[in-house]
């Protein structure tokens, strides 16, 4: 596998970014829902959530720069599914960035950043009182739906259409 993508498969850098971002997004979603469920005593989990969200956003920015400046994405599917793939990929770039901005705004307006990273820290503020909470929650739900759709589409292409998964596919070397 080469560092850069070819028309038929993703390169090593794109694959590494894909799975690293996926891991951070999953960590951010799981920890975010845990913070919501636990409430004001979830300081440690919120720190994990903040770190995972910031890393997902920074790596998403790196991925956008990678595609625009250095690499090209493999050819997408043709026909009616091409526009759907492009919309989903666009949302996978925009939503993590928007969630990072709304999360940082919540931390700023609530004063939670000072509270989390100083000692001793008390109970977390009520994030429901701050406007950035609504787009943050909406983004998490849309992102969860996109992830489910993305996984289902990958499994459909792999098993129903018997298409090699380009994100994982490594062609055999010529002898």
Contacts of 97 (CB under 8 A, 6+ apart): 57, 60, 61
- Terminal Cα distance for the chain, rounded: 16
pLDDT along the chain (175 residues), means of 10: 84 93 97 91 92 97 94 72 83 95 94 80 85 95 94 84 59 44
Question: Is residue 95 a contact partner of residue 143, using CB atoms and an 8 Å limit?
Answer: yes
Full-model pTM: 0.85
pLDDT on residue 54: 97
H-only helix segments in the chain: 12-38, 43-65, 80-110, 112-116, 133-155
**Domain spans in the chain, listed from the N-terminal domain onward:** 12-160
CATH assignment of 12-160, among 1.25.40, 1.20.950, 1.10.1760, 3.30.230:
1.20.950
- Residue 19 Cα distances to 56, 72, 168, angstroms: 11, 18, 10
pLDDT on residue 144: 95
């Amino acid at each position: 596998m080469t560092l850069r993508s070819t028309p038929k498969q993703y390169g090593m850098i794109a694959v590494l970014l894909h799975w690293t971002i996926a891991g951070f997004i999953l960590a951010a979603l799981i920890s975010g829902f845990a913070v919501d469920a636990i409430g004001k005593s979830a300081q440690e989990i919120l720190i994990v959530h903040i770190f995972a969200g910031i890393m997902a956003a920074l790596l998403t920015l790196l991925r956008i720069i990678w595609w625009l400046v250095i690499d090209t994405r493999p050819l997408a599917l043709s026909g009616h599914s091409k526009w759907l793939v492009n919309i989903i990929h666009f949302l996978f770039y925009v939503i993590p960035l928007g969630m990072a901005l709304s999360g940082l705004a919540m931390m700023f307006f609530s004063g939670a950043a000072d509270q989390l990273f100083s000692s001793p820290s008390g109970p977390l503020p009520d994030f429901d009182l701050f406007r950035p909470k609504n787009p943050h929650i909406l983004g998490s739900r849309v992102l969860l739906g996109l992830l489910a759709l993305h996984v289902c589409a990958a499994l459909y292409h792999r098993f129903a259409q018997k298409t090699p998964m380009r994100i994982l596919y490594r062609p055999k070397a010529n002898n």
